[in-house]
């Protein structure tokens, strides 16, 4: 999400990371570059000015901590100010009100409100164990109600019927009563997309808000609209008492300026980030973690939480025990590893959260190799095998390889590549099962990262700066 900004900022901060002391001159030069980096990332000008002023004030009046060098202390100031700008800590939804808690989604056309409604329903059901009902008050867009019904079915939420010839207020007041009868904890209301300059439509949502008095009024905004996202959020906030913002399509936004501007301009917290098209791709917004990612420090906490949530622990433990007892790593195990990686958002989603990876050249190298495509190929080849072949890799002979290749529509060359890949993974898995082997592997990974220019891999805060080019 913040690729460009991360690249520019880490480049700028390298100038001071190795400095023995902070002077007004070297701070001035660095701040000029930081200002350019923020403006290029589409952060609003007033927000950028305020941010630079606060960092300068902090840096010049700062008593440097003994455990950090002056340069590292400066990076810490930048990190703290980024966190403040985005809102200190994660603010969750207020679900303490009398059920059904009404959550109203508002925003421009095409911002992704209907998909976000389904993502939010899934999030509340899976992580907070809430019973969720959904209703569409979009009577203008053709098939909008049908679309919500489809996604509600996909996430297993209660869908409350509505019709395009009804008024939005009638739909929602009836839906609240139906949600009470069905003992729903939360009612998510999907509204029509509207422009903030369309007075009639804005009056309609004001009336709707006044009639139903929702606990949460969330503004859904496309992160790729950049600086304009903050301006429309402000216009909606002037019309409606917003309680928070959901940024969508953040996986496609390389600049990330919207995330930094929205909170500062509206004063309303960003509560969630939409990270992709899949209905489980919604993450709570943690300002301090996002600030770490922007500065190339990774987001290990989010990664650990994701692993805890998405990785099938029973399967993983079963395989670990098998390997520890001297069992072999077969094609079925390999397929399971691919499935777990897909759950984590693929290779790139995983690397994005690792410290030092954002600016190390490893990501570029991996992106060019297109691992997701390669994994799909390998999955197709394994699925073309018999159960016996999957469990016994030693059975592979030319005639079996030929049959497997024709079964998945590929060449025998691709099957041989997979067998080679499997042999390498099996070797690595043996190391995973052995603690001393694991330590050796970690050391070799550190060496590989230096080779790619990661410089220790912990971002500028921890002194992992690259040598100047």
> For the chain, what is the HEC assignment?
CCHHHHHHHHHHHHHHHCCCCCCHHHHHHHHHHHHHHHHHCCCCHHHHHHHHHHHHHHHHCCCCCCCCCHHHHHHHHHHHHHHHHHCCCCCCCCCCCCCCEEEEEEECCCCCHHHHHHHHHHHHHHHHCCCEEEEECCCCCCCHHHHHHHHHHHHCCEEECCCCCCCHHHHHHHHHHHHHHCCCCEEEEECCCCCCCCHHHHHHHHHHHHHHCCCEEEEEEEHHHCHHHHHHHHHHHHHCCCCEEEEECHHHCCCCHHHHHHHHHHCCCEEEEECCCCCCCEEECCHHHHHHHHCCCCCHHHHHHHHHHHCCHHHHHHHHHHHHCCCCCCHHHHHHHHHHHHHCCHHHHHHCCCCCCCCCCHHHHHHHHCHHHHHHHHHHHHHCCCHHHHHCHHHCCHHHHHHHHHHHCCCHHHHHHHHHHHHHHHHHHHHHHCHHHHHHHHHHHHHHHHHCCCCCCCCHHHCCCCCCC
Question: CA-CA distance, 401 to 137, in Å (whole number)?
Answer: 56
Closest among 388, 300, 417, 404 to 351, alpha carbons compared: 300
Query: Is 249 annotated in some ligand binding site?
Result: yes
453 Cβ contact partners less than 8 Å away, ≥ 6 residues apart: 360, 361, 466
Residue 192 annotated as binding site:
yes
Q: Is 110 marked within a binding site? A: yes
112: annotated binding-site residue? yes
111 is in an annotated binding site: yes
Was 327 annotated as part of a binding site?
no
As a dihedral over the C-alpha atoms of residue 418, residue 424, residue 429, residue 430, rounded to 10 degrees, the angle is 130
Question: Does 386 show up as a binding residue in the annotation?
Answer: no
Residue 108, marked binder: yes
- In terms of DSSP bridges, do strands 282-284 and 270-274 run parallel, antiparallel, or are they unpaired? antiparallel
4 is in an annotated binding site: no
Query: What is the rounded CA–CA span in Å between residue 325 and residue 347?
Result: 29
Asked whether residue 107 is marked as a ligand-binding residue, the answer is yes
116 marked ligand binding residue: no
Binding-site members for GTP are 107-114, 190-194, 248-251
Binding-site members are 107-114, 190-194, 248-251
């Amino acid at each position: 999400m913040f690729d460009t900004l991360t690249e520019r900022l880490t480049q700028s901060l390298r100038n001071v990371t190795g400095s023995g002391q902070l002077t007004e001159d070297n701070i001035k030069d660095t701040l000029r570059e930081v200002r350019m980096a923020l403006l290029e990332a589409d952060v609003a000008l007033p927000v950028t000015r305020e941010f630079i002023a606060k960092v300068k004030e902090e840096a010049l009046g700062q008593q440097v901590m003994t455990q950090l060098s002056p340069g590292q202390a400066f990076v810490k100031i930048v990190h703290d100010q980024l966190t403040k700008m985005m809102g200190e800590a994660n603010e969750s939804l207020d679900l303490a009100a009398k059920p059904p808690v009404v959550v109203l989604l508002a925003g421009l056309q095409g911002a992704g409100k209907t998909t976000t409604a389904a993502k939010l329903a899934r999030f509340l059901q899976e992580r907070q164990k809430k019973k969720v009902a959904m209703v569409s008050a979009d009577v203008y867009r053709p098939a909008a109600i049908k679309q919500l019904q489809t996604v509600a079915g996909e996430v297993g939420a209660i869908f409350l019927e509505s019709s395009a010839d009804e008024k939005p207020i009638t739909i929602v007041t009836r839906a609240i009563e139906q949600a009470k009868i069905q003992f729903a904890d939360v009612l998510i209301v999907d509204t029509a997309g509207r422009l903030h300059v369309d007075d009639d439509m804005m009056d309609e949502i004001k009336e709707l808000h006044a009639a139903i008095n929702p606990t949460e009024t969330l503004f859904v905004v496309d992160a790729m609209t950049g600086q304009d996202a903050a301006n429309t959020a402000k216009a909606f906030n002037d019309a409606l008492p917003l309680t928070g913002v959901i940024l969508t399509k953040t996986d496609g936004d390389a600049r990330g300026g919207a995330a930094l501007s929205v909170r500062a301009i509206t004063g309303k917290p960003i509560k969630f980030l939409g990270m992709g098209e899949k209905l489980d791709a919604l993450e709570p917004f943690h300002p301090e973690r996002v600030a770490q990612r922007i500065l190339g420090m990774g987001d290990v906490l989010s990664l650990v939480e994701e692993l805890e949530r998405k990785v099938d622990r029973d399967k993983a433990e079963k395989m670990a025990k098998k390997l520890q007892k001297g069992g072999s790593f077969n094609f079925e195990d390999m397929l399971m590893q691919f499935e777990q990686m897909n759950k984590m958002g693929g290779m790139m989603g995983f690397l994005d959260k690792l410290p030092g990876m954002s600016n190390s050249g490893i990501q570029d190298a991996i992106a060019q190799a297109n691992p997701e495509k390669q994994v799909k190929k390998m999955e197709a080849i394994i699925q073309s095998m018999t159960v016996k072949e999957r469990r016994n890799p030693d059975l592979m002979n030319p005639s079996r390889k030929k049959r497997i290749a024709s079964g998945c529509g590929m060449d025998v060359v691709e099957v041989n590549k997979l067998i080679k890949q499997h042999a390498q993974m099996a070797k690595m898995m043996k190391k995973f099962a052995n603690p001393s082997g694991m330590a050796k592997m970690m050391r070799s990974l550190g060496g590989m990262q230096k080779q790619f220019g990661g410089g220790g891999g912990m971002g500028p805060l921890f002194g992992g700066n690259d040598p100047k080019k």
